[in-house]
Structure 1
Amino acid sequence: MYIRQNCIVVISLIVIVLTPIQAISEQSTQWRLPEGAKARLGKGLINDISYSPDGKTLAVASSIGVWIYDAQTGEELDLLTGQKAWVLGVVFSPDGKQLASHGQGYHNSFYVYDTQTWMIQHTLTHDEDRYFISSVVFSPDGLVLASCGSLDNTINLWDSKTGRRIGTLKHNPKGSPSARDLTFSPDGETLISQSTDKIIFWDIKTLTSLQTLSVPTNRSLYSMALSPNGKLLAGYSSNKRESFIYFWDVNTGRLQRTIEAPESWGLRFSSDGENLLSASYNDPVHVWDVKTGRLVDTFYAGESRGVAQGIRGWAFTPDGETLALASYAGYVELWDAKTFRLLHATNITRHADTCNSVAFSSDGKMIASGHGDARVRLWDADTGDFKRELIGHRSNVVSVAFSPTENRLASGSYDRTIRLWEYNKTTISFGGFGGGAVINTGHKGVINAIAFSPNGKMLASGSSDGTTRLWDVNTGAHLRTFPPMDSVIVESVAFSPDGEKLASGGLFDIHLWDVNTGRLIHNLNREYYSLGGQSIAFSPNGKMIAGIFEADLSEWDRGDRPPPGDGIGLWDVDTGKLLRRIRTGRTWSIAIHPNGKTIVSSGGFYDMETGGHLHTYKGGSRSLAFTPDGETLASGGYDGTVLLWDITPTGAPVSPARDASGNTLSVDVNGDGDVNVLDMVLVANAFGKSDPDVNSDGDVNVLDMVLVANAMKDRESNVAAREIFFKNHIQPILAERCAISGCHAAPGVAGLDLSKYDTFKKGGANGPAFVAGNGKGSLIVKRIDGGGMPPGGPPLTTDQILFFIYWIDQGAANN
């Protein structure tokens, strides 16, 4: 429930919270951002592309949603984020009025959008599958949608106009391979489903199987394609040693031809049916003559950039004259579909693979991000503009670091090299030392991390071979090798602020070394917890070092529940003593604010002195970095993007504590990332006990209750002080919790359609959903404040409820 207590306790602790600002102008970098983020750099990894039937629009399925582009200009038109997971596929209806998307996520649903409004029209859900929908196709007349799930052995047929299920097909018995791809025959009378062990032809009218095609034993079928005239079916099959493409006669089911082929993720016939194309993430596109089975051409994406690349998506224009290729590096090129020669690159760019590392330049004006597509990307930290792409590595770029003293950037890669790049304010120029730009490190394993020394003269590298090495930045000379760690793999490295110590983090331990002598100073305490060295950081004063830990399940000998989840460990650098453990939940990265008082993990901010939870942000990340002034946080994610968060100090009341075992507590008593009435109930039910003792006075009493209530009130004040926007704050909640669930998408239960602003404003059978200027008195607030809505799921968080209240109080504009 929303805050009803009036008790306020004045507490002077200054904490860090996230608030949106207007420093970056409204553009696609700000579309559909997580709450609190001010910009998104990059557009997410491409998984599929599809042209509208008129060829005017291109839909791009990405790791952050569906991007809608003007196919002629490459201009971004919209970003659809109804699906709260990676989107793996998109397809337009034959009349272009609908767009279906499907992808990952444990909600076994896919979505149909109205292409006039780009609002969700239908949310269609499988009954059994609890993973993701693997294929969705329209029938040629557009009246039927067919879908199959990755763990579901059924195929569902839907009325595309009403969203009603009209049939179900069983591709395989439970426990056998499920259907992973679907296609309709050109006349729409037959549906073809493909799993790894077979292909089945179905009569759509009778819902019965017509014929089954099998693949040889010990081979798995991964993709298929039907020729434009519907007479020939191709399938790609592979085992660990070899791979083949099969051609079947659709009418007879007879295998016509088998050709040996390279690894492929997809097949597609040319519009005239004379060629079959096979695609790969790493290898070139192969073109096969359908009549002879002969390889007639190969070509890579990336020719417009001078770098050969595999592809992640492809689509023919409706007229069949042009082939669009989405390269692994995240841009779209257009090729002649007859000659398979490059026509030109498009303006559709900045779709990148996983962001493994992010760093700010010493002046805070530039951001570097290292990606899984072997690229380093440079961004303007103030505007969010993409500046440049650095190409040179042959594999995953896992670590980037700016020199603290020179205009120099270093990048480390799985190709076992370190590259140095020199730059100035207006241009990035490839430079280096001793006439070369590459340090061939000699590591026997991949490089996982690099770091500059504070004076910029040395560079450290950590590798999966277990060693940490030091390099002279100016000459490239090898200075020292620190011996292998107990955990075998070095995942992170960091210099102390004075440059005298070097920390190397592994899977199970963190070693602290003397830089000058190579002596091991400490093997940090792991008596109670096995460490995870994916990320380590020194405090600005050099007195503490932080690292990620995981709960040691060997200690779990009780019959109730295992130990709490992962978190952060803080150690005294001089003594090596473990100072405290902070429960954060699963995290991959940490960063310490320049003020030395706050540490951030993949999901929240914590007070380093007390371990108390200060603030939650929804930007789960693989890499974190603060600007030197501490005013901006950058988080790089698995989705390939970098999110920028504005950091503003406020006087939020927080009084965390630790329990008898040394584990930290805070006003967020139940650890759900929200301070609300549930935390107060837990405290109230524990009166007279010793846990949860919020203020550490040895007793749970009304004082603990006051601290929680005060934090709730302060959160309300923080929200009230902000301008709430419908598109950024309200609409995403409605889409995720109300409209997508099916209850209040058109036409909506009780006539209440929450899928768009106009129908939300109109209300339903029970009257207007809100009255501008009267947040607490509006019907929508009364329903969500009591916890009864939305049904079938967790209630909205306190912040989310407050968003509705103050958006309505501020006039409920369609902003």
Structure 2
Amino acid sequence: MKSNFQFSNLCGTVYRQGNIIFTPDGNSVLSPVGNRVSVFDLVNNKSRTFDFENRKNIAAIALSPDSNVLVSVDEDGRALLVNFRRGVVMHHFNFKKSVKAIKFSPDGKYIAATHDSHVQVWRTPNHLIREFAPFELHRTYTGHHDEVVSIEWSPDSQCFITTSRDMTARLFTLNPLEGFRPKTFAGHRDVVINAYFSADAKTIYTVSRDGAVFTWKAKHSDAPDSDSNTSELVASTSAIANSIAHTRWGVHKRNYFHQSGTRVVCSTFHRPSGLLVVGFSTGVFGLWEMPSFSNLHTLSISQEKISSVAVNASGEWLAFGAARLGQLLVWEWQSQSYVLKQQGHFSTMNSVAYAPDGVNLATGGEDGKVKIWNSTSGFCFVTFSEHSAPVSTVEFAKQGQVLFSASLDGTVRAADLIRYRVFRTFTSPTPAQFASLAVDPSGEAVAAGSQDNFEICLWSVQTGKLLDVLAGHTAPVCALAFSPAGNLLASGSWDRTVRLWNVFGRSRAVEPFQLNSDVLAVAFRPDGNELAVTTLDGQLVFFDVALGRQTSIIDTRRDAAPGRKLGDLIAAPGGGSHSSICYTADGRCVLAGGRSPYVALYDVRAGVLLKRFKTSENLKLDGTQDMLDSRRVTEAGNIDLVDTRGDDSDFEERRQRDDELPGAKRADLARRRVREEVRTTCVRFAPTGRAWAAATTEGLLIYSLDEGAAFDPVDLAIDVTPQSVLELLAKRSWLPALITAFRLNERVLVHRVFSAVPRDDIRLVMRGVPQIYVAALVRCVAEALEGSPRVEFVMVWVKAVLSTHGRYLRERAGEHAGVLRALQKALGEFENLIVKVCEENNATLAFLADQMKLRQAVAEPAGKDIVMQEA
């Protein structure tokens, strides 16, 4: 079993906080998700999340105009300098204060960042040269009396304007100009959110939180006299910079949004078209055309305030982020349609399940919603919100067309994944809260375990009737699992027993297994001959189902130990336990996760830990550290536990966070302020065996195998090189080239040889491939079927592989289960694509068929006439 799984993608979370930005080409959106950055490709309908992590949640991000350098800054001011195209961290930097805004100059040579009441401008590091200290400070600009909240550069990159909480905006020049003093734009009665330059830089717009927009224009120029020094200065500086700097600005016009009961939260400006986009605290956004201030559009897109807004380079797409609901929306305002509309779970994910094809995943959360995600694109394409309480477990039927979900509202619901609707609702005779769920492999029966009356209910999916109620446990039934053979049902309970029920037999025999602690999770091996059980005391116990005895035990207390919380003075003495387990596709290993920042992979036969995967490095969450930083501990406790909500200047946000003031008599005494804790609620392995998913506090993390250029030294020789492969290709020696590429095991080289084989020679080459490379060839075919446009060519390979080596693959189905499922997944995706294309062109195909019948009908009488004439 290979353990080199790498972080692949993050689903279930699309936006947390910070600013959203478009790439310069306008085809992708960058969104901060916790301490990571996700990129949503709007053209190809895909998303990816970089594997690098900031120390805490990201507060601001910036992308260079050439899309080479990405800067992400967390809440403490610690920044990462990233090569955006490769996703590699090049440098760590500490601004030493929180950064509210960071922005590249239009020419990409400088980076301006807020630094409390100051602004620092740094020279942009070179992403091609390794430097010891890439960040070089150009200048520090002062003048504001309160925190700076935004920065906007002029079109020529020689000036920039800043806004602050002191209700003013100030204009600075990048380099000192003789006779220039920073201009102050005052007159607003609330915090100035943003300021913008017009396209010709002759107009400046300032937007304040109370809904006022001021238009500033030149009163008259106060440029210095044209002496020799001044003429040299003008010659060295652009005309736009001089006109901006040596202009006496004054208020030309005052406009107001007149949105009652709301405040401006964010705004952006599209300079070429003069389009001003404003987001309000009520979830409403509006579009105004400047400088006429004519309202083009106003729409409510969210129930909560819009935290961030961005516009792409062409001005067609608008991106909105709502932090409270975790929403990310991309709106095409001219056609008034959504380009992207995604929302994660409002609270914690409780469960995750893979579909049999390995493409889709289902998640159930505390918000009572069931969402289905596409693992390839990373997007949610359907949401079921029928449950009225937290969803505890979700499971797919073996055929993959039905999704079952159990909830604490006392119902189990079955959803049809073809019509996307719930067609069955199962309830128990007495009200019960269902905490566990299991589906029969045939899909004919579904079982759910209760946590209050300690019973297991069994229903028929076809009729919806209750078949049986299994009683015997004396504590909540927290885990259920059907044997892959379908004849046994395993149930785990807090009464320290695991019971095996023969639900379809006449004997009704029950075999209880006694354990030393409460049972947390159970899982059958894929062949159904072994049962794995995890308990509260940190033990992972294995039972032989046929013999009914315990075979082995693994102590996981140290591996499952939770991290240190900020309020902890000592480490947890007893370790921890895993609350979710699953077998790998080949049944050799077990994946386990729980209240720990780690997911552990165990080898069952050897009884050892193979590897631990850390799910999060975010210091904003409790439990991510094994040791606490003593430098942050004072006599009053940890500095991070100090309540700083009173520092928030937004009265509405303070009121929403904390309804009572200090000393108020009326208060909710049961209300508590808690920090999120890092934990893994559920882990599941993909049917293909190439990936696994974990539902965590940060979202749905997907890890997959990334083999890269790993090769087997035994098969290597001096003449086995990439150059020799290319020489064999030039000689049209297809089989030796393919075998040599497999020996090197470089993915790019293998696909190059694979694509070069002529269509007529595929079957002949397939006969000569050694059996040791058949599995690698099947995986190559599956990858090509997913991404190659040469569909017929790849399908010829599929037919040749299965017809030539089908018996070998059938005899070793367990060994090659992963690659076979990967091929099945690729074929399923291709089939769905063909079905979708046919459905979209159904009318055209029907028209062509009718035309063909009509031509045949016309041709038949004409043919008869010719025959008659000849006769």
TM-score with structure 2 setting the length: 0.47
Q: Relative contact order, CA 8 A, sep 6+: which one is greater? A: 1
Query: Which of the two has greater helix per residue?
Result: 2
Asked which structure has the greater CA Rg, the reply is 2
